[in-house]
Amino acid sequence: MTGYRDTRLANHAATTDGTLASPMSTTPSPDVLNPPKTVALVGNPNTGKTTLFNALTGFRQRVGNYPGITVERKTGAIRHELGETQLQAIDLPGAYSLNAQSADEAVVLEVLSGHDPSSPTPDLLVSVVDATNLARNLFFTSQLLELGMPAVVALNMVDAAEAKGLTIDAEALALALGVPVVPVVASKGIGVDSLKKAVIDALAAPVTAQCPSFPACVCSELDGLCESVGHADGECPTAGAPSERAALLQTLLDPGGHHEEQLIKRCGVRLADELAQRRQRIADSGESIVEVEAKIRYAWIERVVGDVVKRVRPPRKPRTEKVDSVLTHPIYGFVALIVVMTVCFQAVYTWAGPLMEAIDGVFSQVGAWLTAVLPAGPIQSLIVNGAVAGVGAVLVFLPQILILFLFIAILEDCGYMARAAFLLDRTMSKLGLNGKSFIPLLSSFACAVPGILAARTIEDRRSRFVTIMIAPLMSCSARLPVYTLLIAAFIPAKPLLGGFIGLQAAVMLGLYALGAIVAVVVALILQRTVLQGAAPPFLLELPSYNLPTPATVLYRVYEQGREFCISAGTVIFGVSIVVWALGYYPHPTSIAADHEAQRIAARQSAPSPEFLDMRLTEIDRSEAGNYLRHSLLGRMGRWIEPVVEPLGWDWRIGTAAIASFPAREVVIATMGTIYNLGDDQDENSIGIRAKLHSASWPDGRPIFNTAVALSIMVFFALCCQCGATLATIKRETNSWRWPLFTFAYMTALAYVGALVTYQVASRLI
Amino acid sequence: MRGNSLLALNAGESGTVFGIVGNQLAAKRLADMGFVRGARLEMVRPGAPCIVRIDGACVGLGAGHQASIALS
Ligand SMILES: Nc1nc2c(ncn2[C@@H]2O[C@H](COP(=O)(O)OP(=O)(O)OP(=O)(O)O)[C@@H](O)[C@H]2O)c(=O)[nH]1
Ligand SMILES: [Mg+2]
């Protein structure tokens, strides 16, 4: 449970997301007199908080149909035309109760209690409840109402409730709760204006909410606890506030939980004895410590809901259940999971092909045209070999990235992810993980950074850390270009299994499987060594299936595509230029003079024009190769050559691999640049595939063959070449130990893996 | 019938929660999520983990949790 403190650090990062609306900072004077009121969106997971946040602010934060999409807090200005009051909304992760069980729930607590120094203390709470599941959602709402802040209930998903045959009398509910209740359909923007109005009214004239009353023994022990804590830290500004009292109720009723840990840290172990005595007295009076709160609240909720929810139609067997009878089946479910994954990879591989060729063609044309119009020299080389070859080599992979994210977004938005987590829990718990590790690990197939953040939903610190350590082994989308390029060039396109899958797609699937299998082994080892302990039981709500919303899916795909293009245009572009410069300079004139002399000699002694052509081409290539060998890059490369030679690599591959340690996506660009520089034979085509095929050792043997390609791919599959991932691990684990460990173990694995692959494959093939 | 746990329910069978037994950390969470005395449960898919329906929602529960939910 020590994972919670880590989240405070992460929250600082969340404020830098630029979502604090800038219009307010351009007019600073009213701000000082009239600071914006902060509205926090709170509620159970998957109730539509982020959808509502987006509707209120016009932002496009990520939404999806599984519990735990949002794990950080985000702030944005609410747009409205209802007077002068400026409003800002905070979107929070979902929580079931004020007793935080996981790092994402702890984020909610920190913000609500005002203990998060980087976030404004909320002035009002919007409790977002799912109308299809009102009673269970009202548990958290009733806790929130006791915090003593103005509150409004947003009754979301009334459309889904109607479809289920439920009607909810919002006015009666408001009367029973004592706070305004606004029915909304956040996904369609219905009721959002009424909600804004209710918020402004509630800020102006707060009302007192109705709350359940607790048995006398609990109340008196709580009073006593409040008093001793008040004495213990009298100077604490929140002492005695309703929110403090609510926190102490959780402390009292959740032995060994988050609140107890915090309190003992604050007030000393002396309180531990006192807590134990107070709990004993409650137990002696016949109440169960862990159940009394649920008992009281659910009894109260039953009275509230009784008159409010009407069933207009008997429930029929919902669609969700019919689908689930297959998708969560222990056998058919796994078959379906495997089919889904296979179709996804096959699509990434085959659909993207024609698009990729088109993009490649465009860049080749541009390169050829630039070569023709620009005078030969460093500028031409910089633009053609550095910029166009580097960026072009990467942008070719845009179609694949888009298709991969299309699949992920659809699976996420339809509700399948929670089922996959359910299916895999049994396997995962054998590895010291949890079914919930599935979602972070699956997100890591797109990118490890959001994957590691998503691990916050895992309650148990140990499983959370194991998940974080192995997340970078999942083949992220930045590895995809390396795989695609080398597979297309060196793996023959043969059909397998009667055409169900091609050999190329099978190799790709194999690389993804390699990361996953190695992750399993690493998890097993971690579980037996540094992160020991029993796996905690699985607990996850399975949302109803939904048809994916095209807007949500397409926006996710668009966002990812944009990010990829930006990274190709900045980081990759920059690295391409640096690599070009290192590979071009010093460019000594003695090499030119030497080869010019060879050309003259060839012209004089050539027996036929064809022979002369051949000889001249040879001299051109040797000249380009000589330049590269004498360049700074070439010298560095020769230094590392002995290290990478056992992997079957020449110094150019080694250099590209090393240049991509900060961010692996630069490798293709780097190879594109290096091989283009070293090969003047065919300036008009920058197609990197052709370049790789023609690359050769000094003795003329081709460098690339199937064994080398496999060895490179295995290296990239296993290596942690990503500074952003390591920085995120540092942030989430709050220590340098874990990122250093991750880096060390993955680098060692990658080297050994590539070595074994090459040595075995070169003997077999 | 006291002493039955959720582990004893077959697919399609229903039960009523008697209380949470055992002294594990997540006991309060189970209660807070609605597994309180009197709550009606239906076993949708038995096993470990299982799926139970509670108040219209489906929840996946690991074996540890199933053992600690006593039915009456
Ligand atoms: N039918 C219906 N679906 C909705 C409505 N509002 C949101 N949804 C869907 O509910 C799902 C969850 O929405 P989110 O906004 O991600 O929920 P959240 O509360 O932010 O979830 P977490 O961040 O995981 O806690 C998405 O699939 C939405 O499209 C609504 O009013 N009606
Ligand atoms: Mg959210």
- A702-715 residue pLDDT tens: 888 889 999 999 99
Of all protein residues, whose CA lies closest to atom 14 belonging to ligand 1? A48
pLDDT confidence tier of residue B23, bands split at 50, 70 and 90: low
The arithmetic mean of pLDDT across residues A405-411, rounded, is 86
> Which of helix, strand or coil describes residue B53?
strand
The arithmetic mean of pLDDT across residues A301-318, rounded, is 82
Q: What's the pLDDT at A671? A: 79
Q: Which of residues 517-546 of A touch B (CB under 8 A)?
A: 536-542
Residue in chain B nearest A287 by alpha carbon? B19
- What average pLDDT is seen over chain A? 83
pLDDT confidence tier of residue A317, bands split at 50, 70 and 90: low
Residue A50 Cβ inside 6 Å of ligand 1? The answer reads yes
Report CB contact under 8 Å: B36, A421: no
3-state helix, strand, coil in chain A (%, to 5): 65, 5, 25
Q: What's the pLDDT at A136? A: 93
**A357-404 confidence digits (pLDDT tens):** 888 788 888 888 888 888 877 888 788 877 777 777 777 778 877 887
Report CB contact under 8 Å: A538, B49: yes
Using CB atoms, pick whichever of A133, A288, A315 lies closest to residue B19.
A288
Contacts of A659 (CB under 8 A, 6+ apart): A575, A579, A666, A667, A670
pLDDT at A622 over 50: yes
Q: Would you call A159 exposed, middle or buried from its count of C-beta atoms within 10 A (0-12, 13-18, 19+)?
A: middle
The arithmetic mean of pLDDT across residues B13-30, rounded, is 83
Residue A104 Cβ inside 6 Å of ligand 1? The answer reads no
Q: What's the pLDDT at A23? A: 40
**A551-561 confidence digits (pLDDT tens):** 888 988 888 78
**Number of inter-chain CB pairs under 8 A, A vs B:** 123
How many helices (H) does chain B have, and how many strands (E)?
Answer: 2, 6
Distance from Cα A509 to the centre of ligand 1, integer Å? 32
Contacts of A382 (CB under 8 A, 6+ apart): A577, A580, A581, A584
Residue A51 Cβ inside 6 Å of ligand 1? The answer reads yes
pLDDT confidence tier of residue B7, bands split at 50, 70 and 90: confident
pLDDT confidence tier of residue A535, bands split at 50, 70 and 90: low
Contacts of A568 (CB under 8 A, 6+ apart): A391, A394, A395, A665, A669
Q: What's the pLDDT at A20? A: 36
Between A270 and B24, the more confident residue is A270
Residue A191 Cβ inside 6 Å of ligand 1? The answer reads no
Using CB atoms, pick whichever of A256, A330, A425 lies closest to residue B25.
A256
pLDDT at B40 over 50: yes
Distance from Cα A468 to the centre of ligand 2, integer Å? 21
Distance from Cα A547 to the centre of ligand 2, integer Å? 18
| Angle A683-A687-A689 from CA coordinates, rounded to 5° | 125
Provide the percentage of residues in chain A whose pLDDT is more than 90: 30
pLDDT confidence tier of residue A684, bands split at 50, 70 and 90: very low
Report CB contact under 8 Å: B33, A136: yes
Q: What's the pLDDT at A4? A: 40
List residues of chain B with CB under 8 Å from any CB of chain A.
Answer: 19-20, 25-39, 44-45, 47-49, 51, 54-66
Of all protein residues, whose CA lies closest to atom 10 belonging to ligand 1? A48
pLDDT at A13 over 50: no
Provide the percentage of residues in chain A whose pLDDT is more than 70: 91
Residue A413 Cβ inside 6 Å of ligand 1? The answer reads yes
Of all protein residues, whose CA lies closest to atom 27 belonging to ligand 1? A65
Q: What's the pLDDT at B20? A: 87
Q: What's the pLDDT at A90? A: 94
Mutation choice for ligand 1 from A57, A92, A182, A187, CB with most ligand atoms inside 8 A: A187
**A226-265 confidence digits (pLDDT tens):** 888 877 665 555 556 788 888 899 999 988 888 888 888 8
The arithmetic mean of pLDDT across residues A509-522, rounded, is 90
**A476-509 confidence digits (pLDDT tens):** 878 888 888 888 888 888 777 766 677 888 888 8
The arithmetic mean of pLDDT across residues B34-48, rounded, is 91
Residue A54 Cβ inside 6 Å of ligand 1? The answer reads no
**Is the CB of A334 inside 8 Å of chain B's CB atoms?**
no
Quote the CA–CA distance of B36 and A83 in Å, as a whole number.
45
pLDDT at A1 over 70: no
Place of tokens 């489906």: B58
Residue A651 to residues A26, A263, A548, A689, A693: CA-CA distances in angstroms?
Answer: 54, 58, 48, 18, 16
Quote the CA–CA distance of A79 and A63 in Å, as a whole number.
20
Residue A68 Cβ inside 6 Å of ligand 1? The answer reads yes
The arithmetic mean of pLDDT across residues A203-212, rounded, is 86
Q: What's the pLDDT at A18? A: 35
Residue in chain B nearest A96 by alpha carbon? B33
Amino acid code (one letter) for B72 = S
Residue A371 to residues A5, A70, A115, A558: CA-CA distances in angstroms?
Answer: 57, 49, 61, 33
pLDDT confidence tier of residue A352, bands split at 50, 70 and 90: confident
The arithmetic mean of pLDDT across residues A567-588, rounded, is 77
pLDDT confidence tier of residue B25, bands split at 50, 70 and 90: low
- Whose atoms come closest to the Cα of A544: which ligand? 1
Residue A46 Cβ inside 6 Å of ligand 1? The answer reads yes
The ligand 1 atom nearest the CA atom of A546 = 27
Q: What's the pLDDT at A22? A: 38
Quote the CA–CA distance of A111 and A100 in Å, as a whole number.
13
pLDDT at A639 over 90: no
Using CB atoms, pick whichever of A97, A418, A537 lies closest to residue B65.
A537
- Whose atoms come closest to the Cα of A184: which ligand? 1
The arithmetic mean of pLDDT across residues A170-197, rounded, is 94
Distance from Cα A417 to the centre of ligand 2, integer Å? 15
Residue A549 Cβ inside 6 Å of ligand 1? The answer reads yes
The arithmetic mean of pLDDT across residues A736-743, rounded, is 94
Contacts of A600 (CB under 8 A, 6+ apart): none
- Region for A165 from its dihedrals, namely left if φ exceeds 0, alpha if ψ lies in -120 to 50, beta otherwise: left
Using CB atoms, pick whichever of A253, A294, A459 lies closest to residue B36.
A294
**A37-94 confidence digits (pLDDT tens):** 999 999 999 999 999 999 999 888 888 887 888 888 889 999 888 878 889 999 999 9
pLDDT at B9 over 50: yes
Amino acid code (one letter) for B38 = G
- Whose atoms come closest to the Cα of A104: which ligand? 1
The arithmetic mean of pLDDT across residues A560-579, rounded, is 76
The arithmetic mean of pLDDT across residues A176-203, rounded, is 94
**A94-138 confidence digits (pLDDT tens):** 999 998 888 889 899 989 988 888 888 899 999 999 999 999 999
Q: Which of B28, B69, B72 to mutate to test the interface with A (most CBs of A within 10 A)?
A: B28
Using CB atoms, pick whichever of B28, B61, B65 lies closest to residue A253.
B28
Contacts of A599 (CB under 8 A, 6+ apart): A616, A619
Q: Which of residues 145-184 of A touch B (CB under 8 A)?
A: 164
Q: Are A133 and B57 in contact (CB under 8 A)?
A: yes
Q: What's the pLDDT at A235? A: 55
Q: Which of B14, B17, B20, B32 to mutate to test the interface with A (most CBs of A within 10 A)?
A: B32
Residue A94 Cβ inside 6 Å of ligand 1? The answer reads yes
**Is the CB of A139 inside 8 Å of chain B's CB atoms?**
yes
Which residue(s) pair with B50 in the sheet? B61
pLDDT at A446 over 80: no
Domains and CATH numbers, chain B: 2-71 (2.30.30.90)
pTM of the model: 0.81
> DSSP of A49-109, one letter per residue?
HHHHHHHHH-------SSTTS--S-EEEEPP--SSS--EEEEE----SSSS--SHHHHHHH
- What average pLDDT is seen over chain B? 86
Residue in chain A nearest B55 by alpha carbon? A133
Closest Cα of chain B to A365: distance in Å? Answer: 55
Residue in chain A nearest B47 by alpha carbon? A330
pLDDT at A700 over 80: no
**A452-463 confidence digits (pLDDT tens):** 888 888 888 888
Between A586 and A237, the more confident residue is A586
Report CB contact under 8 Å: B51, A418: no
Quote the CA–CA distance of B54 and A129 in Å, as a whole number.
17
The ligand 1 atom nearest the CA atom of A415 = 27
Distance from Cα A420 to the centre of ligand 1, integer Å? 19
Q: What's the pLDDT at A591? A: 81
Closest Cα of chain B to A54: distance in Å? Answer: 25
